Structure 1
Amino acid sequence: MNLPLLKRILKYTKPYNKYTILAFFTAVINITLTLFTPIIIGEGIDLLIGPGNVNFSKLFKILILLSITVIFSPILQLIMTRCTNIVSYKTIKDLRIDVFNKLNSLPLKYIDSTSHGNIMNGVINDIEIVSDGLLQGFSQLFTGVITIIGTLIFMLSINIKITLIVVIITPLSLFTASTIAKHCHSMFRKQSQVRGELSGYVEEMIGNQKIVKAFSFEDRSKQAFEDINKKLYTYGQKAQFYSALTNPCTRFVNGLVYAAVGIIGAISAINGTISIGQLSSFLSYANQYTKPFNEISGVITELQAAFTSASRVFKILDEKEETSDSKDSITLNTCEGYIDINDVSFSYSTDKSLIENFNLKVKPGSKIAIVGPTGCGKTTLINLLMRFYNINSGEIKIDGINIDNITRSSTRGLYGMVLQDTWLYSGTVKENIAYGKPDASLEEIISAAKNAHAHKFIMNLPKGYDTVLTDDSSLSQGQKQLLCIARIMLSKPPMLILDEATSSIDTRTEIYIQKAFNKLMEGRTTFIVAHRLSTIREADLILVMNNGKVIEQGNHTELLNKGGFYANLYNSQFALA
């Protein structure tokens, strides 16, 4: 058993200790009543043995006692189950909240480099396994241990010699269960790893189904899925095989215990050492004593799977968080738009450099276009401006203030960003547009939608601005992008980042959007990442990047006249025009 892991899980149960204590006391009382029942029945049997020896007055008292145990035992069991369920579900709720909050505090590097299916598997499936295996399993372990201790006490009160025989045989059951559990743990660990791999693969295939079909990748994706699924089947089958072995093996040992008690108890009864009623009680205790071992052996299998899943969950919680803001960081709600980048170097991995000794000075209200071939560092520069990634060396300043001395949230709040990839969440059109300004009035939202030329198609939706958007909403990619643009039109940030913001919009609408953008960009520092060079002719400054370095800069006319890298890029796009 992984004690450090267990301690971490039990920390989550501390806020609910009152339910744990109540569960403990009700379990003790319930088990005591349950264990007291065989003694009552044994005494009743002794009162019935022999002709004319029936003592009805004493039998009546025994029946009353038996009735009390029968009535109160299920009530106590209900209270205990209710308490353990509260502890279990509330603990898991807290753990899941912590994991989700942790994901929000992790750097984008972790999110970008980790399979999303694996992350989802950790948040949903692994935590559920922890709930089923560890927390609910421990309630069975908890009652089982109390039952074993209580049964031993009652058996010792009847006959010490027979009790010792039971105790001597018992380790066989524990040895059998622990031996099988070792194999179980190994298989469940591998099964959990492959389950995460399978979740990641399915998430990739479903999320990119259009690409799969466009390249006729169906058969190959099926084969890859079957290969992973086959591994999961193999490990799952072995895990279940060892799991299934546990109960029958312990039952066999428990059968030996019952047989030993029956034989030795019968001999003792013949010799007059114990009464028939006591033998009956002892046989009942032999069953009750061995039953928890069967349950515990079954719980051990669940615990192995739960510990494996818990380790994956805590691995997420142990990931290094995004560097926190320094104590003296300031909150910058607005800015003029001076950007000063001095000797900035950055790379995603230590073995491959990307941006080196990058320098740039931007005046307020400037339109800065960033162009270059794929992988040249355009998007990376945006990531650094937004502090999605931390620079390796150098400094970036906004209005003369180093961004390391500004809170991350306020730094990001200074930019309005429209990406090529659109993102809408499950909510109304109105809520999606107001994502960056939740307190916006309906009039402001409608005005922003009109500026983004989205109002017309919104009004054609079933409920207009109150239409709920879901994954299967019949919005085109262009319409989704217009809603994303409307968000920026509404929030009106002091600076803008436009990463191919009109890539999914038809030419006619793009002309209108460009006009709206021109109005929005007035007086605002704007960074435009462009692949279509026709969209950046009016930029004040064009940065031509290649291999992480600015190799040319100037306005459109100046760069064309140079006849360099930019001129070649531009002419190649219009060579067939």
Structure 2
Amino acid sequence: MTITAEPAAPVASPPEDDGPAPDRAALLALLAPIRPRLVAAAVLQVVYAVSALVPFVCVAELARVLLGPAPETGRVWLIAGIAVAGLLVRFTSFGLAGAITHFADADLQLHLRRRMAAHLSRVPLGWFGERNSGQVKKVLQDDVREMHHLVAHALLDLLAAVVTPLAALAYLLYVDWRLTLVVLVPVPLFAVAFAVMMRGYDEQMRRWSEANTRISAAVVEFVQGIAVIKTFGQARRSYRRFAEAADDFAEFFGAWVRPMLRLSGVSNALISPPTMLLVATAGGVVFAANGWLAPVDVLPFVLVGVALTAPFLTLDMGSMRLRRAAESAGRVAALLATPPLPEPAEPTRPHGHRVEFHDVSFSYDGSTPVLRGVDLTLAPGTVTALVGPSGSGKSTLAKLLPRFYDPGAGQVTVGGVDVRDIGSAELYHHVGFVLQDVQLLRASLADNIALGRPGAGREEVERMARAAQIHHRITELPRGYDSVIGEDAHLSGGEAQRVSIARALLADAPILVLDEATAFADPESESAIQDALSTLVAGRTLLVIAHRLGTITGADQIAVLDGGRIVERGTHDELRAAGGLYTRLWAAHVRDDDRDWTRA
């Protein structure tokens, strides 16, 4: 059935990376809501880091007292009491700091996700068309989750890794600065080895990310296209692409990591507890044998000297977490920086449903024009079809009406009012759309249809489903209208399209944009969709895009686009008689139909 302009009574009643420095700035900005709690946790962590050394210092001091000429009982009990108090303060401050950061992290994740969800509801609809759901999900879920370890753990670990060695160093300098310097000998050796190991790290991480992305793309291509691949006997070739991507990754990763492993082993051995204990003990023996230090004074270096380097590995891991969290924060900040759809300060209601495009031009990148000086009028209650070669600007022009994008020049008006002055909430009461890429939520079918008018009763939902030729299919599902998309409701492309038509019927917008509604439909579904569309478009102003020219022969006017301009305009018969681009498109359409008939 073709789309015609025959009037009838309406059926229904009245939503990259600028480098490390910007990423870290973005991270600091995102942490602003929980900064006071992070400061409080940091103070508690400093107390924990210092108090963690107290028992070891007390053991050393207790040994010095007990091995002295006349031990004082009172001093012994005092040191023992300080050690116990240090343990209590350590456990208490550690528990409080961890609790504060974990609660702060939960609040931050909730705050960021709510903020991003609210922001995404204000960005132009065209923004979503340029990205797949996986990219948006990565920012909303994965990148926010990546910040958990930073907030809840890494910040505290990094702080302890800095404070504990400094406190230990201060104490050992107090005992004997000369032996302290001896104990520190492995540290500069570790620093040199670590610097060599991390040389070119940022560039290698970039290459690692690119290689990992290639593997992911090969896996997705292989899994999603396995049916087509096997049908055409290309399984071995497709698998070879995945295997080559995996081999390339393994070769690169091995070449990068292999020399790092040797250096890592050497650097870690230099500051390992056994090495530090050996250096402290050997240095202490030499100092005591030469009379430079009393034997009892070697004990603090044996007990506390290990603490000088133990946190270095934590510092390394924490810095990596910080880098990854900063990258995630950069992506979150980039999403939040997406310019929202401009809303008028004082929205104006349109007067009627006449649609006009006045000298409209548009470019996606600001330099390459997609539309050039388009003028087009859609009279109320008429059908206007947009046709033309691929890339001529048909879909772009149609998407300017529901404000997927705003024109770079000119204006689009509804009822004499620029769509930018109407306000999006009011605009979508007047303009609805049914797109070829149907988006259904993971919710019940009743809720998916009711998106057109939240609060609609079940009776209205079912009435619109009948009008959209999808009611019978829904009743066949396990729970009928309560069946959930993706769980117990698995619809074909044509069936999903009819659900979106039922949604549009319920919304009852007087102006409709219809973009390739039958693109993914089989012949049976296409017939049902056409019947549903005949109900949907009755009495409405319709702007439709179709490559199947046979579906728009009854349109009131057909606008033919080529190179972003309207080159022809008229009815089907007028354009066929004109002998221009439309005539050639129609001839190609007839040839395609003849070939399909011959194959059948």
TM-score calculated relative to the size of structure 1: 0.85
Separation in 2, partners of 1:159, 1:492: 85
1:295 paired with 2:314, answer yes
- Asked if the contact 2:478–2:488 (Cα under 8 Å) also holds between the matched residues in 1, the reply is no
Q: Deviations over 1:502-558 (max 9, x none)?
A: 455566776665455444434321112223333223321122333333333222333
Q: Deviations over 1:64-104 (max 9, x none)?
A: 55444445533432332333333445445544555565555
- Superposed, 1:153-552 pairs within 5 Å as 153-166=170-183, 170-200=187-217, 202-203=219-220, 206=223, 210-237=227-254, 240=257, 244=261, 245-246=263-264, 248-253=266-271, 258-270=277-289, 274-318=293-337, 320-322=338-340, 324-328=342-346, 330-332=347-349, 336-348=352-364, 352-470=368-486, 473-503=489-519, 514=530, 516-552=532-568
User: Which residue of structure 1 aligns with residue 582 of structure 2?
Assistant: 566
Instruction: Give the 3 Å change call, closer, same or farther, for CA 248–89 of structure 1 in structure 2.
Output: farther
CA displacement at 1:341 relative to structure 2: 1.5
Q: Which moved more, 1:564-573 or 1:465-474?
A: 564-573
Q: Which moved more, 1:391-400 or 1:210-219?
A: 210-219
Separation in 2, partners of 1:126, 1:202: 22
Separation in 1, partners of 2:58, 2:368: 79
Separation in 1, partners of 2:50, 2:525: 79
- Asked if the contact 1:173–1:293 (Cα under 8 Å) also holds between the matched residues in 2, the reply is no
Instruction: Give the 3 Å change call, closer, same or farther, for CA 219–133 of structure 1 in structure 2.
Output: farther
Q: Deviations over 1:256-276 (max 9, x none)?
A: 654443233234445666554
- Asked if the contact 2:514–2:543 (Cα under 8 Å) also holds between the matched residues in 1, the reply is yes
Q: Which moved more, 1:98-107 or 1:419-428?
A: 98-107
**Equivalent position SS for 2:427:** helix
Separation in 2, partners of 1:49, 1:336: 99
**Equivalent position SS for 2:310:** helix
Instruction: Give the 3 Å change call, closer, same or farther, for CA 472–215 of structure 1 in structure 2.
Output: farther
CA displacement at 1:173 relative to structure 2: 3.2
Instruction: Give the 3 Å change call, closer, same or farther, for CA 337–208 of structure 1 in structure 2.
Output: farther
Instruction: Give the 3 Å change call, closer, same or farther, for CA 310–220 of structure 1 in structure 2.
Output: farther
Return the letter of the residue paired with 1:28: V
Instruction: Give the 3 Å change call, closer, same or farther, for CA 303–515 of structure 1 in structure 2.
Output: closer
Instruction: Give the 3 Å change call, closer, same or farther, for CA 474–560 of structure 1 in structure 2.
Output: same
User: Which residue of structure 1 aligns with residue 94 of structure 2?
Assistant: 77
2:43 aligned to 25, 31, 39, which one? 25
What is the RMSD computed on CA atoms of the aligned residues? 3.7
- Asked if the contact 2:402–2:432 (Cα under 8 Å) also holds between the matched residues in 1, the reply is no
Separation in 2, partners of 1:276, 1:2: 50
- By relative contact order (CA 8 Å, sep 6+), the higher-ranking structure is 2
Return the letter of the residue paired with 2:53: L
Instruction: Give the 3 Å change call, closer, same or farther, for CA 199–389 of structure 1 in structure 2.
Output: farther
Q: Deviations over 1:156-195 (max 9, x none)?
A: 3322332344456634433433443343333223223443
1:141 paired with 2:152, answer no
Separation in 1, partners of 2:588, 2:291: 108
- Asked if the contact 1:177–1:250 (Cα under 8 Å) also holds between the matched residues in 2, the reply is no
CA displacement at 1:365 relative to structure 2: 0.9
Separation in 1, partners of 2:495, 2:207: 45
Q: Which moved more, 1:386-395 or 1:284-293?
A: 386-395
CA displacement at 1:231 relative to structure 2: 4.2
Instruction: Give the 3 Å change call, closer, same or farther, for CA 233–469 of structure 1 in structure 2.
Output: same
User: Which residue of structure 1 aligns with residue 52 of structure 2?
Assistant: 34
Separation in 2, partners of 1:286, 1:447: 80
**Equivalent position SS for 1:543:** strand
CA displacement at 1:464 relative to structure 2: 1.0
- Asked if the contact 1:325–1:407 (Cα under 8 Å) also holds between the matched residues in 2, the reply is yes
Segments of structure 2 that go 5 or more residues without pairing to the other structure are 1-18
CA displacement at 1:242 relative to structure 2: 6.9
Q: Which moved more, 1:433-442 or 1:11-20?
A: 11-20
Q: Deviations over 1:134-160 (max 9, x none)?
A: 863332110111102211222133223
Q: Percent of aligned pairs with the same residue?
A: 26
Separation in 2, partners of 1:248, 1:305: 26
Q: Which moved more, 1:496-505 or 1:415-424?
A: 496-505
TM-score calculated relative to the size of structure 2: 0.82
- Superposed, 1:41-120 pairs within 5 Å as 41-46=59-64, 49=67, 63=80, 65-95=82-112, 98=115, 107=124, 111-112=128-129, 120=137
Separation in 2, partners of 1:548, 1:293: 61
Return the letter of the residue paired with 1:371: V
Separation in 2, partners of 1:197, 1:116: 19
Separation in 1, partners of 2:248, 2:118: 32
**Equivalent position SS for 2:53:** helix
- Asked if the contact 1:42–1:276 (Cα under 8 Å) also holds between the matched residues in 2, the reply is no
CA displacement at 1:483 relative to structure 2: 0.9
Instruction: Give the 3 Å change call, closer, same or farther, for CA 291–175 of structure 1 in structure 2.
Output: same
Return the letter of the residue paired with 1:435: L
Segments of structure 1 that go 5 or more residues without pairing to the other structure are none
**Equivalent position SS for 1:294:** helix
Q: Which moved more, 1:115-124 or 1:350-359?
A: 115-124
Separation in 2, partners of 1:366, 1:131: 55
